[in-house]
Amino acid sequence: MTELALSFRILDWGPSADPVLVGGFAEGNLAVLMAGKSVLELNEILLVEMAVCVGQWLFRRGRGELVPFYYASIDYEDEPILAFVPDDRGSLARVESVFSEKELGTVSLRAAEVAAQTFMAGIREELLAELGIDLNSIVDFNIRENPRL
């Protein structure tokens, strides 16, 4: 099965170190790699906002829910920016993006989860080092405030 990785680079943390606002300002680039090759480059996306969506998805996966990861943003009209859509058995996930002109491929659902966890760990580390903000507290707040979760 194809390996998946999400590689990012933060370009700008934005004007605020407020944990409530940082998600709407921290921009960067994201590369989606499959089998070690870049299949998608996403530029100037809101990486902390995406990390919150990843955290919510991982929370739901941890409860055993077979739900897709779906990242959309108010910054872009077209969507999804990035999605992992599981098959009916919960073993595979189709990787999708409105910014790709071709099918990106399929990975194991576990590979998508590991890539998401690794992405979260990287964002968490940089956010804490740069602004002293704990990403987990932002994700936890969003989970508590979202009645659909």
pLDDT of residue 149: 56
Tokens at 82, concatenated: 């990035």
**Residue 109 neighbours by CB distance under 10 Å:** 21
Reduce the DSSP state of residue 93 to 3 states and report it: strand
pLDDT, tens only, 91-148 = 999 999 999 989 999 999 999 999 999 999 999 999 999 888 888 888 888 788 776 6
Q: What is the Cα–Cα distance from 71 to 95, expressed in whole angstroms?
A: 12
Q: Is the pTM of this model over 0.85?
A: yes
3-state helix, strand, coil split of the chain in percent (to 5) is 35, 30, 35
- Of all residues in the chain, the percent with pLDDT exceeding 90 is 68
